[in-house]
Amino acid sequence: MRVLVTGGAGFIGSALVRGLVEAGHEVMVLDDLSTGSRLNLEEVPVRLIEGDVRDPGTVRDAADGAEVVFHLAALPSVARSLADPIRSHAVNVDGTLNVLIAARDRGVRRLVYTSSSSVYGDTPSLPKQEGMPVQPRSPYAAAKLAGEAYCRAFAASFDLETVSLRPFNVFGPRQDPESQYAAVIPRFATRMLAGQRPEVSGDGRQTRDFTFVDNMVEALILAAGAGPEAAGEVLNVGCGARTSLLDLVAALNGIIGTELAPEFVDPRPGDVRDSEASVEKAGRLIGYRPTVDVREGLARTVSWLSGRLTPEGLRR
């Protein structure tokens, strides 16, 4: 099968590309390399098209001949969207619309869209279920929700099947710990491997459903091959369990062999307090079941990072 992965040089995208190539698929990647890296695709036999999803012509050309499109290209991070909401909208909403139009016009069978658990906001009900009200608290979350709405509309209006996935706090190898918008696990692990105390925002009792990247890759591939009952649907992807930031520090101390106490800093604007996924719907519609738990995922991530950290920074 010939597929297009937008954002395929990024953290999740490159893991997906590797999984697709290993399964024997022909893979094209569209990425502007603003947050992704060519090094993430080193020695992977794919065709990389360097381009921006905000350019309709580039997207249309990249989608030519694809049977399935995995749309992961995005400008990630709540904090980044707060700093520049216009750019966040342009990439995450206008870019998604461009990809949908190109997929429709090129006769793509199915488009799998990567949304975000941030669309739920800070609603107190747990676990988060797809039918509950959404309350985005940041421009990033609002943009991801708009992308879901466009996917649902295209599935209803055109001959294009779409499936939207809401991942919960994905982590794993190739996630950049050096960006100012780095996610919590690579940020904590990198500091602790260097013997430094992890910086915990707020009181550290906030919880997340941390999801190892292999689980997300499995969900993406399952969504592409699922039956018509999945078309137009929105599905959570997580592990169905919560881990507090303090428990995360304790787990990393155990894996690394350190006894580093957290250093508390101010809470981050736009963050939610607690998050946990219900994955019942994804199990029913696409057969998703998480296969790598948080502890095993942390151990694999630490192993990858420890082999690449140098005094000068991260070696890819």
CA torsion angle for 63, 66, 69, 73 (degrees, to 10)? Answer: -40
Look up residue 11 and give its two tokens.
Answer: 């953290």
Is 140 tagged catalytic?
A: yes
- List, in sequence order, every beta strand (DSSP E) within 109-196: 110-114, 161-167, 170-171
Burial readout 31-66 (b: 16 or more C-beta within 10 A, e: otherwise): bbeebbbeebbeebebebbebbbbebebbbebbeeb
Catalytic residue selected from 140, 150, 181, 288: 140
**DSSP states along 28-87:** EEEE--SS--GGGGTT---EEEE--TT-HHHHHHHTTT-SEEEE------HHHHHH-HHH
Q: Are 53 and 101 in contact (CB under 8 A)?
A: no
312/314 Cα distance (integer angstroms): 7
Closest of 61, 88, 85, 60 to residue 74, by C-alpha = 88
Closest of 15, 42, 17, 38 to residue 27, by C-alpha = 17
Q: Angle, nearest 10°, between helix axes 245-256 and 294-306?
A: 50
Longest dimension (CA), the chain: 56
Q: So which residues are the catalytic ones? A: 140
